[in-house]
Every structure is written in structure tokens, then in C-alpha cells.
Copies of this chain bind each other. A is one copy, B any other.
């Protein structure tokens, strides 16, 4: 193997695949990155066995030569050292050559590194995936969907399936649901060219967070292909594979109340800042619980109280309060997560009494629903 490549392009491709490489990898070969070069270009692969990322740098792009391949081949190089070396090379011209079986030379300017590689045949094969269950979503929309739901997954392994986001394709719609059994986020997205079959998969939250870091904020379509054990996201020259979580995702539709007793319309950003202040004194002793009270007029009172430190009370103006008076307590963190997901718009919060879950939505848009279970304090 011997080729020349522009350092900036190699850095870009490497920084994507590095997101799949874990510093705690237990399988030795997965501490490495696989390089394969031929006349087409360079493929880089990184994996932690849950996530596999494969990027491609073409030999030529828009008439510009990016890679000059003198001799094709493949090698696995220690991810940590290889990426740091490339980042610090003195010039933009990089030559990589494998000689004497696994001896790898990285040359740039007057600098020459010799790394001991591993045999590329020992690197795991890419996950197999059938190409039949396929649809596409614009990249920026996919990022929004991930951001609006993934924060609500469970961080506890007691019910592993809840550490993932449930993706269901049905009737031309993608429904994404995440819950840790204290709060829930549900996002519905109408699909263009939706597949006719019904799909139901659970994607690990961690995979979606890593995918989100790689996706560009552009309208270019991201291809999504599902199999029984894997999902593949294809964005430009990047392939992102994730294993799926096994087990049945619970039916969450029963959680969402069908009747409401109090509707409050309020500016999301104002409420977020107020909850943030109230949570300052609620963090340690009181498990981050704040109180929320609507008793006549157009204002709600947010408060919290920590006997050791002090208390805080605040009035927040609303656009309208309809229905019964209300006293309810909830986790400030869950409320802030939900308000951040909806983003600073005017929102409506619908309550069904102080001991029942309540939901938050944008007043303009019905696609995203956030649900929170209250905490008993009154």
C-alpha cells in the first residue's frame, strides 16, 4: 500500500470515523482504524462493535486530485496515535506507505513516522444489511428529530430497551418515541416517498447522539436502511451503522392523557429561565423538584424551597390560563429538557390534575409532544 493524500481531507474523514472508536475498546483490533486504498480512493472504518462508521475520500472530486495511489492495499493503525499524528503533520501533503508487511510510514515535509500496524484481515467485516427497507430524510430534519427525542431515553440499564429511541414507520409517518418512564418525548414526521411496509426498531440513544455529531446541518437527504439487527444511515460519503436494541418497546400511547383540566399558554423561553432560577435552590436536597401554581389571574407562581439554603418564588406572566386552578410539582431538569426541545416558541401546557402526567406542545406545531410525570409534594 502506498498513496498520497491531502492532510485536511484525511483529517475530516478521520474525525468522523474516530467517533465510533472507543478508548475503552476490549477487542484489541477495534482500538485501530482500518485504511483501504485503491484507484477509487480511500476508505476508513472505525467501530466499537455497537457503532461502525465508514467514510470514503474519492481519488478525484470536482476535477481535483485528492489521492494519488501508487499501490493499493489495506492496514489497521492505532486510532489514537494515527489521528494525533495526522493532525500535527507539518505540511498538507501526506504520504502513507506500508512496507515489510505491517511497517507503516507516514511522511510529510521533513517529518517521518513509523507505526507498527495490524493485519486488515483481522478487522471485523461490516454489518450485513438488506437494502429493501429504505427511506430518506433531509439531514437537518433528521438532526432536529434526534435532538427533540434522544434526551428522554433512560440512562439506567434496568430496562435496556428504554435506553433507545423507538422508531416506527406506519401510514406514511415516522413516529419517534423516547421515555425513561418519568418523562416522554414523541415526534411525528410525515415522510415523502414513505415505504408501504410497517417498520418498528429501537435505536440506542448513544448511537443517535454520535450520528447527530456527524450529520451536516443541510437539506441533503440521508438514506436510512433498516434490518432486524442493524440500521444504516448513509449521508454523502459517510456510512453509519448501529446495532438495534432487542426486546419489545412498551406501548406508550396509553400514558398520554385524553382529557385535560387546565390549559396554560406561555412563552417557552420565559418559563425556561424561571424554572432554571427556581432549580438553583432545589438541586441537591430536593432532587431538583420545583412547584408550579396557577390560582386565578394570568400569572403562575414558580417556587422551590430548601430548608438548609433558602427559597425562591417567582411570578411568570402567561398568555392565558383556562380551566381549573392547579398546584403541581415536577422535576426542574425534565421541564427544562422539554422546554429546550420545543425551543423558545409559545407553548401550551395541558394538565389533567396534580397527580396526572401533563403534556407540552408548541402552539403552532403539533408534531412534537413532551410529557412529564409530576412528583407528589402537596
**Chain A residues packing against B (C-beta within 8 Å):** 78, 81, 84-85, 88-90, 104, 110-116, 273-274, 276-277, 280-281, 308-316
Tell me whether A112 and B81 are in contact (CB under 8 A). Answer: no
Minimum CB–CB distance from A179 to chain B (whole Å) comes to 29
Measured between alpha carbons, how far is A89 from B111 in the docked complex, in Å? 54
Tell me whether A116 and B81 are in contact (CB under 8 A). Answer: no
Tell me whether B312 and A113 are in contact (CB under 8 A). Answer: yes
Measured between alpha carbons, how far is A104 from B312 in the docked complex, in Å? 11
Chain A to chain B contacts (Cβ below 8 Å), 21 pairs: A81-B280, A81-B281, A81-B309, A81-B310, A84-B280, A88-B276, A88-B277, A88-B280, A90-B273, A90-B277, A104-B310, A110-B315, A110-B316, A111-B277, A112-B313, A113-B281, A113-B312, A114-B312, A115-B310, A116-B308, A116-B310
Measured between alpha carbons, how far is A90 from B272 in the docked complex, in Å? 12
Residues in B with CB closer than 8 Å to A89 are: 277
Tell me whether B309 and A78 are in contact (CB under 8 A). Answer: yes
Tell me whether A310 and B113 are in contact (CB under 8 A). Answer: yes
Which single member of B85, B274, B309, B316 contacts A116 (CB below 8 Å)?
B309
Residues in B with CB closer than 8 Å to A273 are: 88, 90
Measured between alpha carbons, how far is A123 from B238 in the docked complex, in Å? 60
Measured between alpha carbons, how far is A110 from B115 in the docked complex, in Å? 63
Residues in B with CB closer than 8 Å to A78 are: 309
Residues in B with CB closer than 8 Å to A281 are: 81, 113
Measured between alpha carbons, how far is A281 from B78 in the docked complex, in Å? 11
10 shortest interchain CB distances as A-B pairs:
A115-B310, A111-B314, A110-B315, A113-B312, A114-B310, A114-B311, A88-B277, A84-B280, A116-B310, A112-B313
Which single member of B111, B276, B316 contacts A312 (CB below 8 Å)?
B111
Which single member of B280, B308, B309, B312 contacts A112 (CB below 8 Å)?
B312
